[in-house]
A = this chain, B = another copy of it.
Amino acid sequence: MIEKKISVAVIKRLPRYYRYLGDLLENDVVRISSKELSKKMDVTASQIRQDLNNFGGFGQQGYGYNVEYLYHEIGKILGLERKHKLIIVGAGNLGQALANYTDFEKRGFIIEGIFDVNPRLVGMTVRGIEIKDIGEMEKLVLNGDIDIAVLTIPKQKAVKIGNDLINWGIRGIWNFAPIDLKLKLSSDVVIENVHLSDSLMTLSYNISCKE
């Protein structure tokens, strides 16, 4: 069984391990040493050994790690062993891009609905999923056991819609609106904000440092 007390710092690095192990699996790599993985990931081998020791002692000296096993164990920790039902709120370009991104589905994130206010988008389909009027969202969330709402809507609307979704029982919000969503703090809802503009400004900063 997996030791459950894993430090926040390790947790933060898990998606990256998962991604690299997934690539190795795709390339039919059966096992890998911490040294080889270290080269690929640009972290020290000792960091890798420390991190992965949290998942039991299956990294063996002279053998390395079993890629498939480790991949699945990390997946379990990340909550990927079960399916997550998603809705996308906002069917503009970004919403459609996320809906078209099949890697999410491969990892068990299943899109159950796409919603928009724009009558020109309503009725269109993205990967076979019909874009519906946002007025129909409440029913689906209340009845459909939806886990995650992906918000790709303007920031002016994000707070109202976020609060509605929480009232209807959503468990997680993946927010792309350019605002730190701070909704009802008493709720158990998890919010992950993606700030693309912060990332672009970091790039700009690093470019100006090279000058």
A205 contacts which of B23, B79, B98 (Cβ < 8 Å)?
Answer: B79
The segment from A47-55, A65-73, A157-165, A192-200 found at the interface with B is A192-200
Query: How many residues on the A side are at the interface (Cβ–Cβ under 8 A)?
Result: 55
In angstroms, how far is the closest chain B Cβ from the Cβ of A36?
15
> Within the assembled complex, what's the spacing in Å between the Cα atoms of A100 and B154?
13
Contact flags A174-211 to B (C-beta < 8 A → 1, else 0): 10001110100000101010111111111111111010
A15 contacts which of B19, B109, B190, B202 (Cβ < 8 Å)?
Answer: B202
In angstroms, how far is the closest chain B Cβ from the Cβ of A155?
9
The segment from A27-35, A88-96, A114-122, A136-144 found at the interface with B is A88-96
- In the complex, are the beta carbons of B178 and A84 less than 8 A apart? no
List residues of chain B with CB within 8 A of the CB of A179. 23
- Total copies of this chain within the assembly: 2
> Within the assembled complex, what's the spacing in Å between the Cα atoms of A192 and B196?
11
- In the complex, are the beta carbons of A197 and B92 less than 8 A apart? no
In angstroms, how far is the closest chain B Cβ from the Cβ of A97?
3
> Within the assembled complex, what's the spacing in Å between the Cα atoms of A12 and B101?
29
Most chain B beta-carbon contacts within 10 A, residue among A182, A196, A197, A204: A204
| CB-based nearest B residue for A76 | B208
A198 contacts which of B15, B79, B147, B207 (Cβ < 8 Å)?
Answer: B15
List residues of chain B with CB within 8 A of the CB of A42. 180, 182
Show 9 A/B contacts (Cβ-Cβ < 8 Å), sorted by A.
A19-B198, A92-B97, A94-B94, A109-B200, A148-B203, A171-B207, A172-B203, A174-B203, A192-B202
